[in-house]
Amino acid sequence: MIKPTLFLSTLGLALLVGAAGASPGEYERQEYYERRGPMPFELMDLNRDGVVTTEEHAQVRNERRQARTQMGYPMRNAPYAPAFEQIDSDGNGSISHEELSAWHTQRMQQRGMRMGPPGRWNY
């Protein structure tokens, strides 16, 4: 019989080793895939260059849809998700942090929602 402390220690070590092999932000994105509402800019900017490209936007959107479908969440509102062009207000082919924040603020005002601290949106 395995002692509980040995089992928990082994389990904890296995989790740490698994986490060390993951890319930065991977677990945070998975957490946000499970939530409703927008993702923070930093998690959408996959290559961390300060802008979200059409490819990054599409990749994050597709990963999120797949994850939510696998979890059994209904995808009733998927057709109403914003297109890249709706967020890219200056039309330069990339979304800056400021553009995404402005778009979130505009959407929330249209819906009559209140905002919390910067970077966090209260729905």
The CATH number of whichever domain residue 61 belongs to comes to 1.10.238.10
How many structural domains comprise the chain? 1
Q: CB–CB of 87/103 below 8 Å?
A: yes
Report yes or no on 93 lying in a domain: yes
Q: Residues near 91 by Cβ (< 8 Å), separated by ≥ 6? A: 85
Beta bridge pairs of residue 45: none
pLDDT value of position 20: 37
Report yes or no on 11 lying in a domain: no
Q: At which residue do the structure tokens 């924040």 appear?
A: 101
pLDDT value of position 81: 85
Q: What is the pLDDT of residues 89-118, one digit of tens each?
A: 999 999 999 999 999 999 888 888 655 555
Report yes or no on 7 lying in a domain: no
pLDDT value of position 120: 52
Q: What is the mean pLDDT of residues 23-46?
A: 80
This prediction has a pTM of 0.66
Q: Which two tokens stand for residue 114?
A: 């209140």
Report yes or no on 107 lying in a domain: yes
Residue 43: domain span: 23-111
Per DSSP, the three-state class of 55 is helix
Q: What is the pLDDT of residues 64-98, one digit of tens each?
A: 989 989 989 888 888 888 899 999 999 999 999 99
CA-CA distance, 117 to 37, in Å (whole number)?
16
